[in-house]
Chains A and B, each alone.
Chain A
């Protein structure tokens, strides 16, 4: 595999590139869904190919093919350089990539139980069993799924990188729906699309889907007749899963340097952050310390090296409420005048690496969920994301949860349906006055982060735990 990548890089240099890198990737994917006690879909995908990036002047070109023979690899390198020359018809400013340590290395994520080797019938029995349980508990629609990715990469650059990695990821989840008059309710566990990590099937066993099937079915039924989340302004406690979404959308994307530089303006959007304020802008309360750490064992955004060959390393993003860092690549960092990269990945051989979240999450606080509820005189506890919408600068958001509980006098009370909350990112984070600690921190995995054109699906991790926010607008509806 290194041979093909090396040929491609040499061909790109021979065709005029001043820098080139190539990734050979072999990706295997398996997923199964079950619905109402029956397998609904079983998918297996196996792809191999090479993607080459060439830099001519200040302009990039990228080309990918599924063939790895010598001629195809050479053609891929030459074509990448040709595309880069075309880019120079509309050139940018001079560009020097920030330096990165040149390594020859191998890396693999930890995996106790190879998920692709677990019997397919056992995996099917799990999904069929929990959906049957939910159905028997009275819900009209019960679904469950698992997904498995096994990715091998071989990376070579014209600077001398030669790195291979194997990253195994998997996870599972389930949900059920109930239908009422003009209302649809949903409950899920551990979250709607499931919980994922760089781990083996042991992760799926650990989340124990069967133990939660009856409970979520009962909650989905109860929600149909629960009172609506009342509109107004109140204190809100968010559960850990919803906090992971809050971090992903209103911190993770906002600190992507390509967005800040305007490189995503035509599609994903920009950011409310201004680089001139890096190091002094208040992002949130003193309780808010966020890191981007691709070295966390088992988290979904972990790797040994990013797709530019930069070794995984933790960076502070927000420290004690002050914005101090970004997610960057070697080109964007250079243009921004920064000296670190390490957050560039592609979702397959045929896609160009771009700035993606790694594991972006909160460091633990001093509180617990129980202490937050006890300390809240009037508020709502919301959990499990159901809808999410945020503006193209990542400031104005409206998020909905599957379930809410009224809090009165420090006690969790009746269920509330259709809980939503809305806010402006920095104001919202500034209102965070309680944050749970290490014992309630989970590395939530998001396997469906969309970005880029052509579209790419990123895998990101989010260390998160329950937190309380003051004076939040809730219950917005049509």
Chain B
């Protein structure tokens, strides 16, 4: 079997044969993904696939085109190269071309667990069995997933890097019939995914969420659990802390300004021990830790080469496949922890919210989102958790929610979320966030209207 590095080299050779003047960049990944899905406490979908992805970009006579295939045979490579070169000859000039990445070494070769890469379907099914058995007889639904990726990048400017990563995750709910409770985790190794622990936690949340009552719309102090915080962070990244959004003038971000509460620090680091993203981006640029928000100060914007050139800065190594449309996105994001795990004790009257659901930006610049709660809301009164509350709709600016003075607490403990931040070619992503206590959240309706 050819290595991903060999295939990348073959693609570049083929491009050079056909057009020695062409700039070329290729990413080759070999991916294996398996996902065991369950509902009503039985496995109803259990899937796996193995694939290659070969993504080639060429730049010829000022014109750029990309093509991809999942085949690696000599004929398929020839067809890929021919297709990309033919398209480049026919398309319009690319005024935003920012050149190829220069030769640079990666700072890590990725986090890899051999047992996870080789995990058999029985291993995932046993994790599901453990979740269901620990869930106190409640109906359960969710998934257990393992995946691995080996990837190589090479370009005609001499850059050649490779890395590999694994990820295991479980995200599931237990259901009473009137309430759901969720539990989730993501890790590098399947051995760190404890189905029984998650099943018990989900069941406890579901049972605590029974007998819900409706709540009047209005502004409430809130404690957001990591599931809800993940959504908040993703919203900031997609719409605002994104080089393309900044260059196009539709981002809230203003570098160097105190746009967030001093309790907020946010960074991306694909080189740390929890990272499941690859340590280089889709343009082959090695990744380094990037400070996005430091003690509330907007400190950095993820850029790829194109957005960096347009914005007069340097790439930060955050190019993703499809980035011409989506912009530059981080893959291993961490929201810094606080010093306590009791965020409820000082809340006079507020809400504890587990997850947000179906959140959509109403305005990209102010980051006003609407969405709903999911998997549990509870009233907090006089520092104590009270009755469960039925599903709520909110309409709230994510930037305002984290503004100076708005963050009243950050938990010490963090949760690793399986949520995907960026649909990066050949890679995973990781998101580590704490719980947050926020001064105000705008509830605009309930399940009844």
Which residues in A have some Cβ–Cβ distance to B below 8 Å? 32-34, 38-49, 51, 59-66, 79, 82-93, 119-121, 124-125, 128, 140-141, 177, 179, 182-184, 261-267, 269, 350-352, 354, 386-392, 395-396, 398, 400, 418, 420, 422-424, 427, 453-454, 473, 476-478
Known: A66-B70, A90-B129, A476-B445. 5 other contacts (CB 8 A): A62-B46, A265-B139, A392-B358, A396-B391, A478-B396
A127 to B87, CA, bound (A): 16
A125 to B128, CA, bound (A): 53
Give the residues in chain B near A42, CB-CB below 8 Å. Answer: 64-66, 87, 91
Known pairs A42-B64, A62-B47; A473 contacts B449 (CB<8 A): yes
Q: Is the CB of A92 within 8 A of B121?
A: no
Give the residues in chain B near A177, CB-CB below 8 Å. Answer: 248, 250
A161 to B124, CA, bound (A): 32
15 pairs from A and B in contact (CB 8 Å cutoff): A41-B324, A46-B83, A49-B51, A90-B125, A91-B43, A92-B40, A265-B139, A265-B180, A266-B38, A266-B171, A389-B371, A391-B357, A396-B448, A396-B449, A420-B362
Q: Smallest Cβ distance from B62 to chain A, in angstroms?
A: 11
A93 to B39, CA, bound (A): 12
Q: Is the CB of B42 within 8 A of A91?
A: yes
Q: Is the CB of B365 within 8 A of A263?
A: no
Q: Is the CB of A398 within 8 A of B370?
A: yes
Q: Smallest Cβ distance from B41 to chain A, in angstroms?
A: 7
A47 to B80, CA, bound (A): 11
A427 to B449, CA, bound (A): 10
Residue in chain B with minimal CB distance to A396: B447
Q: Smallest Cβ distance from A125 to chain B, in angstroms?
A: 8
Q: Smallest Cβ distance from B26 to chain A, in angstroms?
A: 14
A467 to B3, CA, bound (A): 58
The interface bits of chain B over 75-100 (1 if a CB of A lies within 8 angstroms of the residue's CB, else 0) are 00001100110010011111110000
Q: Is the CB of B91 within 8 A of A424?
A: no
Which of B67, B249, B362 contacts A387 (CB under 8 A)? B362
Within B370-389, the residues touching A (CB, 8 Å) are 370-372, 374
Q: Smallest Cβ distance from A351 to chain B, in angstroms?
A: 7
Q: Is the CB of B366 within 8 A of A182?
A: yes
Which of A386, A395, A478 contacts B397 (CB under 8 A)? A478
Within B1-56, the residues touching A (CB, 8 Å) are 33-52
Q: Is the CB of B38 within 8 A of A90?
A: yes
Known pairs A90-B42, A266-B142, A396-B391; A390 contacts B445 (CB<8 A): no
Most buried by B among A42, A61, A90: A90
A86 to B121, CA, bound (A): 6
Q: Smallest Cβ distance from B213 to chain A, in angstroms?
A: 16
Give the residues in chain A near B250, CB-CB below 8 Å. Answer: 141, 177, 179, 184
Q: Is the CB of A44 within 8 A of B39?
A: no
Most buried by A among B50, B122, B132: B50
Q: Is the CB of B449 within 8 A of A423?
A: yes
A272 to B91, CA, bound (A): 49
Closest 6 CB pairs between A and B? A86-B121, A92-B42, A266-B141, A41-B324, A64-B49, A266-B142
Q: Is the CB of B49 within 8 A of A63?
A: yes
Q: Is the CB of A89 within 8 A of B122?
A: yes
- The yes or no answer to B173 lying at the interface (CB within 8 A) is yes
Known pairs A62-B45, A86-B125, A182-B365; A46 contacts B39 (CB<8 A): no
Q: Is the CB of A263 within 8 A of B445?
A: no
Known pairs A179-B249, A389-B370, A390-B358; A61 contacts B44 (CB<8 A): no
Residue in chain B with minimal CB distance to A48: B71
A47 to B45, CA, bound (A): 23
A35 to B277, CA, bound (A): 30
- The yes or no answer to B364 lying at the interface (CB within 8 A) is yes
Q: Is the CB of B126 within 8 A of A89?
A: yes
Which of A82, A86, A387, A423 contacts B360 (CB under 8 A)? A387
Q: Is the CB of A87 within 8 A of B43?
A: yes
A125 to B250, CA, bound (A): 26
A47 to B71, CA, bound (A): 7
Q: Is the CB of B95 within 8 A of A38?
A: yes
Q: Smallest Cβ distance from A207 to chain B, in angstroms?
A: 21
Give the residues in chain B near A86, CB-CB below 8 Å. Answer: 36, 43, 46, 120-122, 124-125
Give the residues in chain B near A352, CB-CB below 8 Å. Answer: 45, 47
A64 to B139, CA, bound (A): 30
Known pairs A264-B39, A388-B360; A477 contacts B122 (CB<8 A): no
A424 to B83, CA, bound (A): 49
Known pairs A66-B51, A350-B51; A39 contacts B68 (CB<8 A): no
Known pairs A41-B325, A262-B40, A265-B173; A476 contacts B444 (CB<8 A): yes
A65 to B141, CA, bound (A): 27
Q: Is the CB of A44 within 8 A of B87?
A: yes
Within B409-448, the residues touching A (CB, 8 Å) are 442, 444-448
Q: Is the CB of B143 within 8 A of A453?
A: yes
Give the residues in chain B near A392, CB-CB below 8 Å. Answer: 357-358, 372, 374
Q: Is the CB of B70 within 8 A of A62?
A: no
- The yes or no answer to B212 lying at the interface (CB within 8 A) is no
Q: Is the CB of B43 within 8 A of A92?
A: yes
Give the residues in chain A near B368, CB-CB below 8 Å. Answer: 477-478
The interface bits of chain B over 335-363 (1 if a CB of A lies within 8 angstroms of the residue's CB, else 0) are 00000000000000000000001111111
Q: Smallest Cβ distance from B374 to chain A, in angstroms?
A: 6
Q: Is the CB of A90 within 8 A of B67?
A: no
Q: Smallest Cβ distance from A18 to chain B, in angstroms?
A: 16
Give the residues in chain B near A266, CB-CB below 8 Å. Answer: 37-39, 141-143, 171-173
A89 to B232, CA, bound (A): 37
Give the residues in chain B near A184, CB-CB below 8 Å. Answer: 250, 363-366
Give the residues in chain B near A396, CB-CB below 8 Å. Answer: 372, 391, 393, 445-449
- The yes or no answer to B287 lying at the interface (CB within 8 A) is no
Known pairs A266-B142, A389-B371; A87 contacts B46 (CB<8 A): yes
- The yes or no answer to B164 lying at the interface (CB within 8 A) is no
Give the residues in chain A near B50, CB-CB below 8 Å. Answer: 64-66
Q: Is the CB of A90 within 8 A of B41?
A: yes
- The yes or no answer to B318 lying at the interface (CB within 8 A) is no
Known pairs A90-B43, A90-B129, A183-B363; A44 contacts B249 (CB<8 A): no
Which of A39, A83, A263 contacts B48 (CB under 8 A)? A83
Most buried by B among A62, A63, A177, A396: A396
Residue in chain B with minimal CB distance to A75: B50
Give the residues in chain B near A59, CB-CB below 8 Å. Answer: 43, 46
Q: Is the CB of A79 within 8 A of B48?
A: yes
A351 to B47, CA, bound (A): 8
Q: Is the CB of B42 within 8 A of A478?
A: no
Give the residues in chain B near A87, CB-CB below 8 Å. Answer: 36, 43, 46, 121, 125
A76 to B445, CA, bound (A): 49
Within B247-286, the residues touching A (CB, 8 Å) are 248-250
